[in-house]
Each structure stands twice: as C-alpha cells, then as structure tokens.
C-alpha cells in the first residue's frame, strides 16, 4: 500500500499533493488523509478549488492540435553546404517579405485532433468505433487526399454523432487539400452550433478557412467570432486577425 503522502490530518496539503489529488494519482488512504484535513482548512480548500477550476476548464476547452516542432536546424555545417544555406536564407527572407504584401492562401496545415479514445465512450458500440478509427486513420496521419477518399460517401449514416464528426473531418481534409469551396456545403449541413462542445471551436476555424479559400466575405464575421473562442482556436484566430491587419502577432 502506498504511504498516505505523509499527510496527517493536521498537516497542510501542498500544491504538489493537490495536483496528485485532482489528477487521481493519490492512493485512497492518502486521499482520505488529505481530504480529512482539507475539509477543515480553508487555505488548503482554496488550493483544491483553484486546481479543480484549472483542470475542469482545461477539460472543457480540450487539447489544442499538437504537431511536432520542425526539426531543429543542424549546426556546424561548413563549406559549400553553409554557403548554400546562407543563400537559401537570403532568398527565404526575400520571399517572406514579398509574401507579406500578397494575399496568402489560407487553410492548409490545420488538423483537428482525433480523440478516438474519448469517442469510444459516446459511440453506440465497439464496431462503429472500430470503423470510425479505421476511416479516420488517413486524417490522423494528415493525409488529406486519403482522408477525403476514406470519409466521402457518408459512412456513418446510422450514428448521428459519428456522422457529424466524420463530415467535419472530411471538410477539414478538403480545406487541407485547398478545396475550401467543396467543404462549405458540408459545413453548412453540419450545423456547427449543434456539435459536441469540444468540436465547435475547431469546426468554426475550419469554416473560416474554407470561406477564406473560397474568397467569401463571410469569412471576416466568422473570424471575428473565432477571436473570442477560448483555447487554441482563439489563439489561431487572434494571430490571423493580426496577420490580416498587418500587425505582428502578439505573445
């Protein structure tokens, strides 16, 4: 049995122990000892409240899309390789400066996280979950063309949740294939406001990208709404707003 964290009911609980507690990493005897104290100590109860608030807000906002950072630039290359790199860098700076004054095609590179684990809880059965996991595999691997092939044809007509999500991923894949115009009718049918909470923000962002690719002026209104979104979509939207207005992104 685990030591009860060395917590006697009279000892204060520190923030590390609170993190363990709210993250479910404490063993039951330690939980009992900690709670025995917290219920009688307003200061420790306040720490618990803060940690719970932070954790539940994070869960409500969902995990932002995470992709690995670009491979680090290797150092200490000399000679011709170095010269080529310097020339390429100068050209790149030129292109970046030049592109700053050109409209940029929006939309590629945004992939909604596919949390198939969380979905299992909502799916009607293991079979539909298994099919969903299989159908979304190209999307998870960021293969836009493969995802479009896999998700076209309404494969989840019998399951409203999976159907909505597969349509959303299809729309996102189309945007990643620079076919925003084709994504728009799918998003329109989807009724973004009816989607489960954690997908509404990403769906809004996909809609914005699709509208922008299609040259639709409605993109501005969607961007304005997305700016107020919490989490990663809000960050993306604010960066995009700053980019469009010619300012450097904040942060």
Site for other proteins in 75-134 (CB under 8 A): 113-118, 120, 122, 133
Least separation in angstroms between CB 145 and other proteins: 17
Q: Least distance from C-beta 237 to other proteins, angstroms? A: 15
For other proteins, which stretch binds (CB under 8 A), given 1-9, 99-107, 145-153, 237-245?
1-9
As measured in angstroms, the least distance from the Cβ of 121 to other proteins is 9
**Of the two residues 139 and 219, which places its CB atom closer to other proteins in the complex?**
139
Rg (CA), the chain: 24
**Phi/psi of residue 67, each to 5°?**
-125, 150
Cα three-residue angle 108-67-152, rounded to 5 degrees: 50
Q: State the nearest-atom distance from the C-beta of 102 to other proteins, in Å.
A: 28
CB 111, min distance to other proteins, A: 11
Interface stretch with other proteins, choices 32-40, 146-154, 168-176, 218-226 (CB under 8 A): 32-40
Residues 2-31 touching other proteins, rule: CB under 8 A, are 3, 5-6, 12, 14-20, 22-23, 25-26, 28, 30-31
Smallest distance, other proteins to C-beta of residue 64, A: 6
What residue has token string 């900690």?
A: 34
Under the binding rule (CB under 8 A), the answer on residue 48 touching other proteins is yes
Give the whole-angstrom CA distance, residue 184 versus residue 122: 27
User: Can you say how many angstroms the Cα of residue 161 is from the centroid of all Cα atoms in its chain?
Assistant: 19
Contact call for residues 104 and 149 (beta carbons, < 8 A): no
Interface positions, 54-73, toward other proteins (CB under 8 A): 54-64, 66-69, 71-72
Query: Positive or negative CA dihedral for 30, 33, 20, 22?
Result: positive
Q: Interhelix angle for 197-213 vs 180-190, to 10°?
A: 140
Euclidean distance between CA atoms 197 and 238, whole angstroms = 20
Query: How far apart (Å, rounded) are the C-alpha atoms in residues 143 and 122?
Result: 26
When binding is defined by CB under 8 A, the residue of 9, 29, 45, 178 that contacts other proteins is 45
Pick between residue 120 and residue 244 the one whose CB is nearest to other proteins: 120
Closest CB to other proteins among residues 139, 184: 139
Q: Does the protein bind other proteins through residue 163 (CB under 8 A)?
A: no
Binds other proteins (CB under 8 A): choice among 9, 10, 33, 39: 39
Q: How far is CA 34 from CA 25, 43, 80, 225, in A?
A: 13, 13, 64, 43
How many angstroms separate the CA atoms of 148 and 193, rounded? 23
Site for other proteins in 188-247 (CB under 8 A): 193-194, 196-198, 200, 230-232
């Amino acid at each position: 049995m685990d030591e009860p964290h060395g917590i006697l009911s009279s000892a204060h609980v520190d923030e590390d122990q609170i993190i363990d507690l709210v993250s479910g990493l404490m063993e039951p005897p330690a939980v009992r000892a900690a709670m025995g104290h917290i219920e009688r100590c307003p200061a420790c109860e306040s720490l618990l409240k803060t940690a719970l608030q932070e954790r539940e807000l994070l869960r409500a906002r969902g995990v932002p899309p995470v992709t690995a950072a670009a491979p680090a630039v290797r150092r200490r290359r000399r000679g011709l390789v170095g010269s080529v790199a310097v020339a390429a860098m100068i050209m790149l700076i030129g292109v970046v400066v030049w592109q700053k004054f050109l409209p940029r095609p929006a939309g590629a590179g945004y992939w909604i996280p596919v949390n198939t684990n969380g979905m299992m809880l909502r799916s009607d059965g293991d079979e539909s979950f298994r099919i969903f996991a299989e159908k979304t595999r190209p999307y998870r691997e960021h293969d836009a063309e493969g995802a479009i092939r896999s998700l076209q044809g309404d494969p989840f007509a019998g399951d409203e949740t999976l159907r909505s999500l597969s349509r959303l991923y299809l729309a996102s894949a189309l945007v990643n294939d620079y076919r925003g115009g084709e994504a728009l009718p799918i998003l329109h049918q989807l009724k973004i406001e009816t989607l489960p909470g954690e997908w509404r923000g990403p769906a809004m962002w996909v809609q914005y990208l699709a509208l922008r690719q299609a040259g639709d002026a409605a993109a501005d209104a969607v961007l304005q709404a997305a700016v107020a979104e919490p989490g990663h979509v809000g960050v993306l939207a604010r960066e995009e707003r700053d980019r469009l207005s010619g300012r450097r992104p904040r942060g």
